[in-house]
Structure 1
């Protein structure tokens, strides 16, 4: 046990420490653990009855970049990914197999449209990482003809809210999918959702039994 950095909460496959929670209390870049926690919450609570969506945590996304095709196929089979209509990848620009990176973006695979949609709150900062992941995933799924589409989206107003944008954009897209069933016509993410999301996440951690 790390007494200098105690655990705030364990939620399914995610573990939040107090240092992670602290990142939500100030103008800081979000860790892998916070995005992983939120994707676990989406999978097991908020959208647990939606069988069309598959939320892939950042540490899994990072590993996917370095898996061979057979490993990736086994992972998708285990998660029953072939039956999902939409896959959400929390992606960063880290080019090693360990944690790290300096920028988060969101890659969404729409199987009905055979398209990877990339949402980057800082221009095209993560386009290289997103295309690299796309090339791995499409062969793992046997979808070599899929396209890549960079989406216009709300841009961050600072150098640290990219993770918040990924979290908010994920919710924003799923809400749209639940209403219409496809990504076309997705409105721009309201900036108010981004501005209030850190406080909302802290309240969510408390509600689920964590410490802040």
Structure 2
């Protein structure tokens, strides 16, 4: 079965196989690494996320990549900091960071930075606009053979936040993978996804790997943390009301988010285009879709993580609501 496009994170297309790579015992795919770093930089306009393929070529000494990508685009004049991941030898993710005003670079390897590799990185980067110095940032070290991508994203977040060292995570790698998957899925732009994203849209027989279904199974099994504490606003409610609204309190926020993904998966598998669009013509479908997109935008602005609806449902409510609207828009696109 071909891959299904779920959405985009900047220039990076995120498919089902992309999200699954967060849970496979192999390297996280490059579009996920690049997508996550892109999303991490969204609120920091002075930081430029370098695509991993470009980072790799430059750190391996490609003067053509340096000239074509940086010098011709005036990136050094526009941005203050650069950050990008590098897949070394096709099997191990490392991180590169550059502070342009300070003329310093950072190279981070979750297995530890060898002097030989640091010297090579510094030498190859010096082709980019002059002299640089290499700085060291202390960080946790990888204890297994397949979590380098997770470490790189954690390293990146610390550097983007302006920290001078990466603190211990105090969280199992499996839980970090689950959180990253939830963060990526909830942050990507799903309005531009391909119509194949929902299996039933093209009469594809649903399987265990359909849409986000397999991801939900994998992520739920990987999250075994303590349940989030109930907010005071729930505890203060009358007993009957509390019983009704705190069914979500047995879930952590990550699990509530994964439940929302599972809900979206069931929509894709069980609700057909005919069920949604029967009796709707093309002009009505287009107008309805535009209205739904406007409603979706308004709700995203209002139903933040601190909203009552989000708190009372441990984030399930807004996530599920967003999935329903995206699903309906996708079906309306199929009306001829």
Q: Identify the TM-score tier after normalising by the shorter chain.
A: 0.7 to 0.9
Shift in CA distance, 127/31, structure 1 to aligned 2, threshold 3 Å: farther
**Higher RCO, Cα 8 Å, sep 6+:** 1
TM value normalised by structure 2? 0.49
Q: Give the structure with the higher percent helix.
A: 2
Partner of 1:53: 47
Q: Distance in 1 between matches of 2:88 and 2:137?
A: 18
Distance 1:66 1:117, change over 3 A: closer
CA-CA distance at 1:162 after TM superposition: 0.6
Report the counterpart of residue 198 of structure 1 in structure 2: 177
**Matched position secondary structure for 1:9:** strand
Could you list the runs of 5+ residues in structure 1 that have no partner in the other structure? Answer: 95-100, 178-182
Match of 2:127 among 102, 127, 139: 139
Larger Rg: 2
Partner of 1:169: 155
Per-residue deviation, 1:90: 0.6
TM-score, scaled to structure 1: 0.74
Residue correspondence of structure 1 range 1-212 to structure 2 within 5 A = 3-43=1-41, 45=42, 47=43, 50-64=44-58, 65=60, 67-68=62-63, 72-76=66-70, 77-78=72-73, 80-94=75-89, 101-124=90-113, 128=117, 131-140=119-128, 142-144=129-131, 146-175=132-161, 177=162, 185-192=164-171, 196-207=175-186, 208=188, 209=190, 211-212=211-212
Are the equivalent residues in 2 in contact too, given 1:168–1:197 (CA < 8 A)? no
CA shift for structure 1 position 55: 1.5
> Could you tell me how far 1:131 is from its partner in structure 2?
4.3
Describe the SS at the equivalent of 1:139: coil
Q: Deviations over 1:48-86 (max 9, x none)?
A: xx23312112122123345425x5234224253334222
* Runs of 4+ displaced beyond 4 Å: none
Higher mean C-alpha deviation, range 6-15 or range 189-198: 189-198
Who is 2:282 aligned against? none
1:122-175 per-position Cα deviation (integer Å, ceiling 9, x unaligned): 0236962x54444333222x222x122343310012111111111111111222
Deviations, residues 19-74 of structure 1 (Å, cap 9, x unaligned) = 2211112433211111111122234x3x2xx23312112122123345425x5234
Question: How big is the shift at 1:111?
Answer: 2.5
Q: Which has the higher strand share?
A: 1
Return closer, same or farther for 1:131/1:66 CA change in 2, 3 Å cut-off. same
Q: Give the whole-Å Cα distance in 2 for the aligned partners of 1:127 and 1:79.
A: 30
> Does structure 2 conserve the Cα–Cα contact (< 8 Å) formed by 1:93 and 1:126?
no
Question: How big is the alpha-carbon RMSD for the aligned residues of Structure 1 and Structure 2?
Answer: 2.7
Structure 1 residues 84, 190: closer, same or farther in 2, change over 3 A? same
Q: How big is the shift at 1:12?
A: 2.4
How far apart, CA to CA, are the structure 1 residues paired with 2:147 and 2:116?
Answer: 18
